[in-house]
Structure 1
Amino acid sequence: MDSDIHGQSLTYREIIRQQKGWHLALKALESRKENLQAIMEPFRDRTWVFSGCGTSFYLAQAAGALFEMLTGIRCRAIPASEILIFPELIFNKSDEYLLVPLSRSGTTTETVRAAQKARAEFHVPTFAISCNPQSPMSVESDLRLEFPFEPERSVVMTGSFTTMLLSVLHLGELLASRQTASSQMGQIGEVSQQVMEEYQGLMREIAADSSLEKFVFLGQGPFYGIANEAALKMQEMSLSTALSYHSLEYRHGPMSTADEHTLITILLCRGGNRYGGQLARDLKQLGAKILVFAGGDKGSAGIEADFLVRVPGDFGDLFNPMLYMPLLQLLAFHRAIEKNINPDQPKNLTAVVKLEI
């Protein structure tokens, strides 16, 4: 590919611009915070079901976990197809629900149909979150979240994932009335930009290692959704073998495939630092190369890894997913370039999945 691919690539430009999008989205959401608090309050006692497809499902996993951590409201993350095919396993008569469909375009067939089914057959209200507030999904929903977003032209989702995740964090902060979280949210874009500038070279270095054939991403809690999305980005952009697991589940069978051709990325969280450190040591002994993402000096103390990304330690598990994700996107991008693959045109994929159903 052209040596100037970074300047030409839509995907690259959309990865590195996303922090500007966060600022614009937060500014708009903050201006409507009283209204947002008012419309969410009646649903405080319901189970919030976050749902989507592909990247948006992994967004649902991370967003649901973070929203529950912030608010204490019970959350679930469900693929939209499950609502279409096994709705009775999602919506039972003993509970009340709010469905939160997530979609970059707001036109993904399963997500739109799932929201329609939830409302029509189970009388579940919907709160749509999309980068396109005029989409069918948003317009048809009982509630919708609106924020400015420069449309992505690349097939793969990058800034749309993080911007929608940040919007959910903002909603959680409003319901929880956490001023500390609000202060951190205002700083997250600038800090993320600094982290990207500091570690992009490392992502390029790792991606250039031609001995690597398999990529594994591990995380717990909200970081499990981030691990899943990191693996998907590696698959989509670079057509590489990439898998993801809950961190400690990797011991229970999958680690039998770890060898010197495997890069294992461990996304540490505060409650799992001790477990993650031991896991890194054990997997390194199997010959795998280890990349660790950690929060601050304390979070990475004693970690044995080939590569270490250390983000500022005062953001914690609520905001570290926002700091980790852009670098994981860059890792996938640089791997694609190393393999002479155009990440703007992933094989067999389109920006929106529409089905005749």
Structure 2
Amino acid sequence: MQKNQVSEFTSGGEAHTQREILSQPELWQEVFHLIRQESEGIAGFLRPVLQKGNLRVLLTGAGTSGFIGDAAQGTLQKIWQRPVQAVPTTEIVTQPETVFIRSVPTLLISFARSGNSPESVETVRLANASCDEIYHLIITCNGEGALANMNATAPSHLYQIVLPEATNDKSLAMTSSFTCMLLSVLLVAHLDSIESELERVLRIVEQGNTILEEKSLLEALVIKGFERVVFIGSGEFLGIARECHLKLLELTDGKQVCMSDSFLGFRHGPRAFVNEHTLMVYLFSRKPHILRYERDLAEDISRDAREIQSLQIGGIHEVALPHSSKITLSIDPENPYQVIPAALVGQLLGYYSAVHLGINPDSPSVSGSISRVVQGVNIYTEYNS
């Protein structure tokens, strides 16, 4: 497919995926106002829970929703000063005894676009059965879903946040639902300063719009036809790298070979994945100390005789690499929400890759092997350890 054909597709029609990607900066502002509006109720639920000295916090979801926990874990643990662990529902339903500790008070934060995935519902049931003291915070995009309509025997043990209907993506791949649920939980962690968080949210709105304004750059990279794509991130950006990897895989129906890893982890074997037709996507940290490690790897790869191509995302004025493109963002090292806009890079690369391959981004799975709400999962409720 030639470049002009891709451009025609992106400028016409009302494709769900395209609209859902482009709508995100505006939706982030709506999510902020929703959390601020509900802040008193959320705080009333959370404060007594977070005061428990031996509380444990689990972040869970399946697939893309699971990567929300990966991206939020560090921020929540730093602010709440409680152990916070991200564990996907797909792990919990098969081996709950390795996750839950009966005698330890637990706050389970569940993320779900539809709230109807079998693993999501079963994880809540297993948590109730496996913990003597369990609390649920559910963040979902679907007010009609099973998670949004769950009841607790003690109302003080359950709180549900239902995001605006526009976040409930109609397309197969999660885009706006991912970034909006991630923003929601990060805002929940900042409830004590919620009135002053708007300025920092508006900063990521600007960053998101900057990335969207570079759509033509991302489209041009896709048209080069890389055989492989690698997304690299550190800390919370590793969760984003994993989500970008999944997005490119889903939207191309598995035709684009790709992977994700951390900057330091990539040196320990996975670098063998790289060949002369690979695009490296560096999601650079907002933290200067971490950036030093990241720059070392990026500069090392840039000296490869095969002239490896790369794309740099972040506040990276000082990182000069040959054979590289960049989207430079205005970075505030203290803004915890800046992890969110980077997800748009994977979404846009996935979208343009699908179009370039002649795949409908709204329903890319030609075989039907993947679906908007996972199918074919049998739940076995009789569990024996």
- TM score, norm. by length of structure 2: 0.85
Q: Where does residue 229 of structure 1 map in the other structure?
A: 243
Question: Max radius of gyration: which structure?
Answer: 2
Structure 2 counterpart of 1:350, which letter? Answer: S
Q: 2:263, 2:320 → 1: CA distance?
A: 15
**Residue 229 of structure 1 aligns to which amino acid in structure 2?**
E
Q: Alpha carbons of 1:200 and 1:213: their partners in 2 closer, same or farther (altered >3 Å)?
A: same
Q: 1:65 to 1:149 in 2, by over 3 A?
A: farther
Secondary structure of the corresponding residue to residue 204 of structure 1: helix
1:216 aligns to 2:237 (yes or no): no
Question: Which moved further from structure 2: 303-312 or 275-284?
Answer: 303-312
Shift of 1:316: 4.9
**2:46 corresponds to:** 40
Secondary structure in structure 1 of the residue aligned to 2:174: coil
Q: 2:265 pairs with 212, 229, 249, which one?
A: 249
Of the candidates 364, 369, 372, which is equivalent to residue 351 of structure 1?
Answer: 372
2:142 aligns with: 132
Q: For residues 61 and 360 of structure 2, what CA distance do their matches in structure 1 show?
A: 26
Q: Contact conserved, 1:258 with 1:283, CA < 8 A, in 2?
A: no
Return the match for 2:104 from 87, 95, 98: 95
Q: What do residues 182-239 of structure 1 show as CA deviations (whole Å, max 9, x unaligned)?
A: 4202443244223321x212111111112x1111111111101100000001101123
Q: Distance in 2 between matches of 1:252 and 1:179?
A: 44
Q: 1:328 aligns with which of 346, 350, 356?
A: 346
Cα distance change of structure 1 residues 326 and 109 upon mapping to structure 2, 3 Å threshold: same
Distance 2:94 2:371 in 1: 24
CA distance in 2, matches of 1:266, 1:195: 14
Give CA deviations for 1:271-324 in whole Å, capped at 9, x if unaligned: 3211111101111233321212122xxx43133251112111226561222221
Alpha-carbon distance between aligned partners in 1 of 2:79 and 2:341, rounded to the nearest angstrom: 18
Q: 1:185 aligns with which of 201, 207, 213?
A: 201
Residue 31 of structure 1, CA deviation: 1.4
Q: Percent identity?
A: 28
Query: How far, CA to CA, are the matches of 1:122 and 1:216 in structure 2?
Result: 39
By how many angstroms is 1:95 displaced?
A: 3.0
Aligned residue for 2:93, secondary structure, equals helix
| Inter-CA distance 48–170: structure 2 relative to 1 (3 Å threshold) | same
Give the superposed CA RMSD. 2.0
2:162 is aligned with 1:146 = yes
2:9 aligns with 5
Query: TM-score normalized by structure 1?
Result: 0.92
Q: Corresponding residue for 2:154?
A: none
- Does structure 2 conserve the Cα–Cα contact (< 8 Å) formed by 1:277 and 1:304? no
Structure 2: stretches of 5+ with no match in the other structure:
152-157, 380-385
Map 1:263-342 → 2, pairs under 5 A: 263-269=279-285, 270=287, 271-286=289-304, 287=306, 288-295=308-315, 299-304=316-321, 306-314=324-332, 316=334, 318-342=336-360
Find the residue that maps to 1:126 and give its secondary structure. strand
Point out where structure 1 has 5 or more consecutive residues left out of the alignment. none
